Amino acid sequence: MLSNNNSRETSLKTSVDWITISLYVILVFFGWISIYGASYDYDHTGSIFDFSQRYGKQLIWIGLAGIIAVCILLLDNRMFDYFAYFIYALLILLLIATLFLATEIKGSRSWIVLGPISLQPAEIAKFGVALALAKYMNSFNFKLGNIKNAFVVGLIIFTPFAIIILQNETGSALVYLAFMLVLYREGMPGIFLFLGFWSVFLFIVLIQFLNDPIIEGGKGLMGNFLAYIAIIIVQLILTLRNKKKSNLFKYLIIGNAGLFLLAFLLQKTGWISVNFEYVALFSIVASVILQLVFYFWKKELNCLIIVFFLVFSVGYCYSIDYFFENVLQPYQQMRIKVTLGIEEDPSGVGYNVNQSEIAIGSGGLYGKGFLNGTQTKLKYVPEQDTDFIFCTIGEEFGFLGSSAVLLLFLFLFLRLIVMAERQRSLFCRIYGYSVVSILFFHVTINVGMVLGLTPVIGIPLPFFSYGGSSLWGFTVLLFVFIRMDMSRMELWSS
C-alpha cells in the first residue's frame, strides 16, 4: 500500500472510473423513466414523485442504491479479498434460510418479506459467488486443469445454483451459468464452452422434431436422426483436421460415414426398410471403436477427445427426452415449445411474449412517444414494468430508442472488459469478468425472451426492471468492481 494516507485518499478520488459511473447513472435514469411509462395510469393524476406508485417506490430504491454505491466506494479495498469466503458463506446460509422463511409466490419460494420490503437473496448471492470464485482462483499455484481445483470451482458455482433450483426459481439459477465465461477467460479448455453450445443445439434439434418420423410410415424419429447426423459431421471435421492421423484412418472414418449415407439413400428409394436411428447409432459406435484402435496404436490423445465427444453426445441425446418429459414442469415444456414454434398458445403460456411482440412492433422506427404506448397503458403486457420492461421502451421509443439502450449496455460491457484487463491483481480481474458475464447474460436473455427468441425464464433487465433487490444486487456487483479498479495501482497482498 502507499505509505502516505492523504496521498492515498487523493489518488482514490482521482482514479474513480467516471465513465462507468456515468453509464450506470444514465441506465438507472432511463430505467426509472421506463418504469414510469409502464406504470402510468391515465386515471391517476399524481406526480411522478408519488411514492404510492411503483415509479415512486423505484425512486426510493434508486436513492438507497446511490447510498450503497457511495458507501462501497468509501470502504477499504482489501476487505473484499479478506472477507470473500465469509460473504459467500453468509449468502449461502441466507439462500438456505429462504427455503424455509419465504412465502410461496407464483409457485416459487424465493422472496423474504421484511415489512414493506421484499428481498430476493438470489439476486445478491451472485456478488458472493463472484468474490469467492475470484478469491479461490487467486490462491497460490492455482491451476484450473487440476481436478481438485476444478471440483472446488464447480462447488462454488453450483451450490447456490442447486439451492435456487429448490426455490423453484429456474431463471435466477441459470444466471449462474454465466460464470462459465469467466472460467473460459481464465484458461478453461474451449472444448467445455463448445460442449455447452453443442448441448443447446442438440436440445433444440431433438425437441423441435420430437415426434416426427424420419420417413412417412417408416421407423425412427427425425429428431434423433438429425442429431446423430450432426454428431457424425462434427466427428468427421475433428478427424480430418488432425494432421497426425494417417490417411488410412481418415479413409475408414469417411467410409463409415459414407456407408451410413448410402444406406439412407437406399431406404429413400424403398429398397430397404430399417430404423435409421439404429443405423446412425451403429455408425457412431463404429467410429468410437476406430478412434480407440488408433489411440492404442498411435497414442494420439485427440482420439480420446473425439471418443469423449461421441459418448457424451449420444448419452446426452438419450437423456433429453427423459429430462423434458419428467423433469421440466408442464408450463416450462410449453414455454420451450412456444419459443421453438412447435405449438402456439397466444392466450396461455405464449400470451406475454405475443403481447410484447405486438407492443414492440407497434412502436415502429421512432416509437409512439413517451406515455403514448397503448399496449402498455392498457396493461395488455403482464409484468411490463419488471421482466418485460423492454417492450415499453420498444413501444414508446421505437427501434431507435431500443437500439440506443442496447448500445448503452454494449458500451458498459466494453468498458468493464477494459477495466478488467487493466487490473494488476488476478483477484480483481476475475471479479471484473464475473460482473461482465452476469450483466451480459441478464441483458441477452431478458431481451431475447421479450422478443420471443429465448424461453421466458423470468429474469430482470439490469437497472431497468422494477424492484429493489435486483437494482441493489447489480449496484453492489458493479460498484465493488469500481472500488477495486480505483486501487489497481496499489499492491495487493494475498
Please answer whether residues 129 and 179 qualify as being in contact, where contact means their C-beta atoms are separated by less than 8 angstroms: yes
**What would the grid cell of residue 63 be?**
436513492
As a residue count, the chain comes to 494
Terminal alpha carbon distance of the chain: 13
Single pTM value for the model: 0.84
Residue 394 near residue 427 (C-beta atoms within 8 A): no
- Looking at 29-33, 123-127, 200-204, which range is the least confident one? 200-204
Q: Is 105 helix (H, G, I), strand (E, B) or coil?
A: strand
To which H or E segment does residue 117 belong?
Answer: strand 117-119
pLDDT-derived band of residue 356, with 50, 70 and 90 as boundaries?
A: confident
The 10s digit of each residue's pLDDT in 386-427 is: 888 998 899 999 999 999 999 999 999 999 999 999 998 899
Among 263, 267, 291, 265, CA closest to 279: 263
Q: What is the CA radius of gyration of the chain?
A: 26
By CB atoms closer than 10 A (0-12, 13-18, 19+), residue 256 is: buried
> What mean pLDDT is predicted for residues 312-341?
80
Using alpha carbons, select from 28, 27, 35, 30 the residue that is nearest to residue 53.
Answer: 35
d(CA 254, CA 276): 18
Q: pLDDT by residue (tens digit) across 12-28?
A: 567 889 999 999 999 99
**Mean pLDDT across 83-105:** 89
- Please list the alpha-helical segments (H only) found in 299-425: 301-322, 330-340, 351-363, 374-377, 389-421
Nearest CA among 390, 366, 396, 394 for reference residue 443: 390
What is the spatial distance between Cα 450 and Cα 258, in angstroms, rounded to a whole number? 44
Average pLDDT over residues 307-325: 85
User: Residue 174: is its pLDDT beyond 70?
Assistant: yes
Return the SS3 of 290.
Answer: helix
Q: Which residues contact 364 (CB under 8 A, 6 or more apart)?
A: 398, 399
In this prediction, residues 355-378 reach a mean pLDDT of 82
Residue 108, strand partner residues: 105
- Residue 326 is classified by DSSP as I
Task: Please choose, from the candidates 383, 374, 450, 362, the residue with its C-alpha nearest in 3D space to the C-alpha of residue 35.
Answer: 383
Q: Is 252 buried (19+), middle (13-18) or exposed (0-12) by CB count in 10 A?
A: middle
Instruction: Give the least confident one: 64-73, 152-161, 346-355.
Output: 346-355
Task: Give 240's contacts (C-beta < 8 A, 6+ positions apart).
Answer: 250, 253, 254
What number is the average pLDDT over the span 417-444?
Answer: 94
Q: Hey, what's the torsion of the CAs at 16, 22, 27, 28, to 10 degrees?
A: 70
